[in-house]
Amino acid sequence: MAGSNKVADHYTHGSLLNAIRTGIAEMGKTPETITIDDLGPIDEFHIGGRVASAEFLDQLSLTNQSHVLDVGCGLGGPARFAASHYGSTVSGIDLTSEFVQTGQVLCQWVGVDNSTTLVEGSALAMPFDNSGFDAAYMMHVGMNIADKESLFGEVARVLKPGATFGIYDVMQTAEDGISFPVPWAETSATSELASPDQYKTALEKAGFEITAHRNRRDFALAFFAQLAAKTKVAGGPPPLGLHILMGESRAAKVKNMADNIEAGRIAPVELIARLG
């Protein structure tokens, strides 16, 4: 699909693994000594980073018996965290080939490659069997997918009855248009924002029951303020960070994201749902 290619192109770096190798060397680390926590600043590509991941994933009741699906896994940071922290087996899927290939190398570096598998593919047509997963989640993914009903229908297909599905996405909270570029899109051409109510309607049509809803606006604004303060004190970004993924327009993307949230146009929102 042409739209899918545009999304993958947006996230493709070109030499991402080399950039990460350079970053960890600047930290005094090697692939043999790097840890999941060390990688967190670059492979948790969502508002709030590892703190947000932990608070979000804790709501899914994951265990060492859980087979978990990470929809739009990116580099696989949350997947590696879930495998390490909860002992779960995690399968991730993402459109961006470079993310998947690089992420699988990172899984090997930190020793979770036996429990974490990342594959390239579309979330609208996943290469997984029916009713194969105990839980699923997606983090900052839906903003690039227009057809939320088909997306959630596909997630429902691969989940077991009664399974939990968590969403942590940037959602539209006002009718106003947003300022671009933002981390998920340079222009409106690849931005597919929807409101929490639209998400809920699509989830319910797919057979899910909403069990929790939390707007993370204040958390996001505090996160951006802390990020700016740390960058100022350090005199620039750290060796590993999201600036590597966002490229030359990183400053504009972060500023626009924070400004859009401050203005009430968008907010990061958590939704937890249960498949009937």
Q: How do residues 70-112 score in pLDDT, each as one tens digit?
A: 999 999 999 999 999 999 999 999 999 999 999 999 999 999 9
Amino acid residing at 125? A
**Which residue has better confidence, 160 or 250?**
160
Give the residue among 180, 169, 174 at the shortest CA–CA distance from 213: 169
pTM, rounded to two decimals: 0.96
Instruction: Convert 136-173 to b/e letters by CB count within 10 Å (16 or more is b).
Output: bbbbbbbbbbeebeebbbbbbbbbeeebbbbbbbbbbb
pLDDT tier for residue 23 given thresholds of 50, 70 and 90? very high
Give the residue among 196, 172, 183 at the shortest CA–CA distance from 256: 183
**What ranges do the domains of the chain cover?**
2-275
Q: Residue 4 above 90 pLDDT?
A: no
Output the average pLDDT for the chain.
Answer: 96
Q: Residue 248 above 90 pLDDT?
A: no
* Average pLDDT, integer, range 149-166: 98
Q: Residue 118 above 80 pLDDT?
A: yes
Q: Residue 2 above 60 pLDDT?
A: no
* Average pLDDT, integer, range 170-182: 96
Q: How do residues 195-235 score in pLDDT, each as one tens digit?
A: 999 999 999 999 999 999 999 999 999 999 998 998 889 89
Interhelix angle 36-43/97-109, nearest 10 degrees: 160
Q: What's the confidence (pLDDT) of residue 41?
A: 93
Q: How do residues 120-147 score in pLDDT, each as one tens digit?
A: 999 999 999 999 999 999 999 999 999 9
Give the residue among 209, 227, 230 at the shortest CA–CA distance from 273: 209
pLDDT tier for residue 5 given thresholds of 50, 70 and 90? confident
Per residue, the 3-state secondary structure of the chain, as one string, reads CHHHHHHHHHHCCCCHHHHHHHHHHHCCCCCCCCCHHHHHHHHCCCCCHHHHHHHHHHHHCCCCCCEEEEECCCCCHHHHHHHHHHCCEEEEEECCHHHHHHHHHHHHHCCCCCCEEEEECCCCCCCCCCCCEEEEEEECCHHHCCCHHHHHHHHHHHEEEEEEEEEEEEEECCCCCCCCCECCECCHHHCCCCCHHHHHHHHHHCCEEEEEEEECHHHHHHHHHHHHHHHHHHCCCCCCCCHHHHHHHHHHHHHHHHHHHHCCCEEEEEEEEEEC
CATH H superfamily, domain 2-275: Vaccinia Virus protein VP39 (3.40.50.150)
Query: Is the distance from CB of 261 to CB of 180 less than 8 angstroms?
Result: no
Q: Residue 50 above 50 pLDDT?
A: yes
